[in-house]
Amino acid sequence: MVAALLLSALLPPAAMARQATPPVQAPAEALRVFLDCNTFCDTDHLRREITYVNWMRDRQDADVHLLITSQPNGGGGQQYSLKYIGLKGFQGSDDEIRFSTRQSDTDDEVRRRLSQRIALGLARYVARGALADRLKVAYESPAGAAAAGTQKPHDRWNLWVFTVGANGNLSGESQNKSSSFSGSLSARRVTETWKFRGDFRGSHNHSAYTLPDSSVFKSTTSNYNLSTQLVRSLGEHWSFGVDASASRSTVDNFDLAAKVAPGVEYDVFPYKESSRRQFVLVYSLGVSYSNYTDSTIFNKLKETRPVHALTASLQAIQPWGSVNASLTGSNYLDDWSKNRLSLSGGCSIRITRGLNLDLFGSYSRVRDQLALLKAGISSEEVLLRLKELKTSYFYNAFMGLSYTFGSKFNNIVNPRFTSGGGSCFCSGGSCFCS
């Protein structure tokens, strides 16, 4: 079943390529729309703003399937893709709208722009329905719009975007106290030809535990990481890039771990389709340098090794759901026995009306732990994961099944007493709930 879904995700829509658009039959009531949002969407806001359609809970009851996806753009915001898929009487009348937001946009600005673009895309379908006589499209002209539309905007930052962040956390009780501090700095510049990204992240954590014998166990960990990436576009399918990184970690036994790895990427599909489907092959070849804090199980304090890696990954968002899979193999060229193979994948499948299946799993076979401490590790360090532990594999798996039934309409918004079930904080297109 999953193989069939993967195949359908990769093949182009034959209906659009091989047959003419059939005549459209106007629905006898307000247009029925199924919202399928795979990114940040304030659905309550959309239902309040766009009241001239019926929002449906299930795709099978809709006249139009609205599939919304997004991906990061060069300015730190998101590029949204609104795919309108005609169903029933609108079969074959598909459309797509794309627009971008800025990193500085508030969540309210994002949702207002999203609802405005959704309304524009729905106009062609509503215009053929029962409410066509009540539909009106208006234009609001800003001051100086005529001049602005004919000039290239001046960008004093020349497409550079910077982000600085810092945070701290304190928690404690009578027998346990902990503190953590972290900071980050990032810079990026994205054009049609070049892509640069640089990130620095650092964290320091301290904890103290009072044991049953009244002794106090203290632990301190720190981690600092610098990574950069420079990518050159070579057309609709090819790219060349260089990844470089340097890190220091008390948990991983590194005073300094550095790596430089040039690589080449090939996407089976054009990059312009990346918001809905990608099948990417990436090969990198480079060198890694390690300066260990303490001697390793291989009696090393320093070493330099050549390393390469090959990755194949698939991602697709389609009307029936979404699927992603990735397979990565890497090893040290001077010792092929030191290698790692990782496989991960997941899917969210709409099986039938109201019935959804969610699957995720990952597995890694580990044979490349070069930094393991030669000295022993205490029980406390094992339990608190203060040092890297030896393993030959690790895995993770998840499966979920949900079934929704009842009224097929989804128009009503009633926010009363919603705060009693927890709290949510949204920023920059992401939401975190407790």
Residues of the domain holding 353: 234-409
Domain count, the chain: 2
130 and 238 in a single domain? The answer is: no
Please check whether residue 15 lies inside any domain of the structure.
no
CATH of the domain at 79: 3.40.50
- Which of 79, 104, 134 is where one domain is finished? 134
Identify the DSSP state of 362. Answer: E
Residues 380 and 248 reside in one and the same domain: yes
pLDDT digit string (tens) for the chain, length 434 residues: 445 545 555 555 443 333 444 455 555 578 899 999 888 888 878 888 888 888 888 888 899 999 998 888 877 788 899 999 999 889 988 999 998 888 778 778 888 899 999 999 999 898 887 788 887 777 776 665 544 444 455 678 888 889 999 999 999 998 899 999 999 999 989 888 999 999 999 999 999 999 888 889 899 999 999 999 999 999 999 999 999 999 999 999 999 999 999 999 999 999 878 877 889 999 999 999 999 999 999 999 999 999 999 999 998 877 777 889 999 999 999 999 999 999 999 998 888 877 888 899 999 999 999 988 887 777 777 777 778 888 999 999 999 988 877 776 666 656 566 554 444 444 444 444 44
What is the dihedral sign for C-alpha 243, 248, 253, 257? positive
Q: Do 129 and 240 share a structural domain?
A: no
355-366 β-sheet, strand order: 160-173, 176-190, 194-210, 216-233, 238-249, 254-267, 277-292, 302-318, 321-332, 335-352, 355-366, 393-403
The domain boundary, picked from 96, 114, 134, lies at 134
Residue 230: per-residue pLDDT:
95
* pLDDT at residue 348 in the model: 85
Whether 162 maps to a domain, the answer reads: no
Question: 386 and 243 share a domain?
Answer: yes
Same domain, 254 and 378: yes
> Position of tokens 């709409």?
350
In this structure, the number of other CB atoms found within 10 A of the CB of residue 68 comes to 21
Inside any domain, residue 48: yes
The verdict on residue 153 lying in a domain is no
- Cα separations (Å) of 31 from 4, 51, 119, 431? 31, 10, 12, 30
pLDDT for 432 equals 47
Phi-psi region of 76 (alpha: psi -120 to 50; beta: other; left: phi over 0): left
Q: Does residue 208 belong to any structural domain of this protein?
A: no
Give domain status of residue 224, yes or no.
no
**Which of 134, 152, 178 is where one domain is finished?**
134
110 & 257 share domain = no
Does residue 148 fall inside a structural domain?
no
| Position 12 in a domain | no
Cβ–Cβ < 8 Å for 328, 309: yes
DSSP alpha helix (H) spans, 65-155: 107-126, 145-148
Tokens 């029933």 belong to residue: 88
Q: What is the pLDDT of residue 135?
A: 79
